[in-house]
């Protein structure tokens, strides 16, 4: 056997330096690159192939240039020409344009590609969208509430922008523990199927924040439905009261058709109209879908949670993601009747459920639990 050679200290340091350089310059295993195609088969394109901050991102004929090659390094960003796809001014509003900008790690540069071929910014809970649904070269891209329209459907690189997580932060076993007496209508699979409508839900921020948001949503749902027992409102005398004839579309399903249904007990004709428009369903004419289809029922609950402020000042989703506290979710759902001392027993019921559910998920409930 030959005598091993001794390696000097300088050589060791050089080898280590080379290894570290290779480690930090290597392309992550999840990286993928390619074009992103959408409406009329056209490509997501950086205007003028410019890498300057603020360059518009647009729809354009596919031409094979670097301005149309997008990559993802596994961190949730979509990159071209060395910079990130970015929502202008960190806006979460419908119609906010997207641009190219230095990668900063901001929430306005995070994107999720769903199984439904949407590309979603979780912070805004909105989809990458072709403005005015036109396929003309140079049409600016923006974010907009997800509608399922062709102008929001994309074919992206396999791992571009990440994918909808395979696992919800609440397991089926935990869900069953939370709702031991639930109605068989409220299936875990129905909830899981509904999650793709709002990919930012329980999927924004740290693992703790994700679990806190899931617990907060389910705690309010628990209160609204008596532990996921009631699918429809129990007080039938209220049914005729939820028709606002002042709306231009009236109540085509009937005066008494818009009673509370589903996990958040969706009620009133204008809420059925708004939820249906957002979800691509005709709930104004067929409100019974909410009590007959578990996935639709869950989606209406998630619609309210992620997009409506109710009597509050923020959506329940934003209340949890921005750590305003569970109390603000109560205010946004039923604050006019419960908060500020109006009905402390109802508030306490919600808080007790939230504390119980965060315990099941193994996270702290955080502060500001009351409204």
Q: Catalytic residue numbers?
A: 224
Contact (CB, 8 A) for 307 and 205: no
At a CB cut-off of 8 Å and minimum separation 6, what does 346 contact?
A: 223, 334, 337, 338
For 231-237, which contacts have Cβ atoms below 8 Å and span 24 or more sequence positions? 231/183, 231/185, 231/186, 231/261, 231/262, 231/291, 231/297, 232/259, 232/260, 232/261, 232/291, 233/259, 233/260, 233/261, 233/265, 233/267
* Chain centroid to CA 80: 24
Contact status, residue 99 vs residue 57, Cβ threshold 8 Å: yes
Contact 285, 275 (CB under 8 A): no
Distance, in Å, from the CA atom of 86 to the CA atom of 137, rounded to the nearest integer, reads 20
CA distance linking residue 58 with residue 49, whole number of Å: 11
């Amino acid at each position: 056997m030959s005598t091993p050679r001794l390696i000097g200290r300088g050589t060791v340091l050089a080898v280590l330096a080379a290894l570290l350089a290779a480690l930090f310059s290597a392309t992550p295993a999840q990286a993928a690159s390619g074009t992103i195609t959408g409406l009329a088969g056209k490509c997501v394109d950086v205007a003028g192939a410019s890498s300057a901050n603020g360059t518009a991102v647009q729809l354009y004929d596919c031409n094979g240039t670097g301005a149309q090659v997008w990559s993802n390094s596994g961190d949730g960003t979509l990159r071209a020409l060395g910079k990130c796809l970015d929502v202008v001014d960190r806006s979460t509003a419908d119609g906010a344009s997207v641009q190219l900008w230095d990668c900063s790690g901001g929430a306005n540069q995070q994107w999720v590609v769903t199984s439904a071929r949407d590309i979603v910014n979780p912070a805004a809970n909105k989809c990458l969208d072709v403005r005015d649904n036109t396929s003309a070269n140079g049409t600016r891209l923006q974010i907009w509430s997800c509608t399922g329209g062709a102008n929001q459907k994309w074919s992206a690189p396999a791992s571009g922008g990440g994918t909808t997580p395979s696992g919800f932060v609440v397991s089926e076993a935990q869900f069953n523990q939370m709702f031991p007496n639930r109605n068989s209508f409220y299936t875990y699979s129905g909830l899981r199927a509904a999650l793709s409508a709002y990919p930012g839900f329980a999927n924004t921020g740290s693992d703790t924040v994700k679990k806190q948001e899931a617990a907060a949503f389910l705690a309010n749902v628990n209160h609204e439905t008596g532990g996921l027992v009631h699918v429809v409102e129990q007080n039938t005398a209220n049914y005729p009261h939820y028709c606002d004839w002042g709306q231009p579309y009236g109540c085509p399903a009937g005066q008494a058709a818009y009673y509370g249904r589903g996990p958040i007990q969706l009620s009133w004709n204008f809420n059925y109209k708004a939820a249906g428009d957002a979800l691509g369903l005709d709930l104004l004419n067929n409100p019974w879908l909410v009590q007959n289809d578990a996935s639709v029922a869950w989606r209406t609950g998630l619609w309210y949670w992620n997009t409506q402020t109710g009597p509050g000042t923020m959506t329940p989703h934003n209340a949890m993601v921005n750590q305003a506290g569970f109390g603000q979710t109560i205010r946004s759902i039923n604050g006019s009747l419960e908060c500020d001392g109006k009905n402390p027993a109802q508030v306490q019921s919600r808080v007790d459920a939230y504390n119980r559910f965060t315990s099941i998920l193994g996270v702290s409930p955080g502060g500001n639990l009351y409204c």
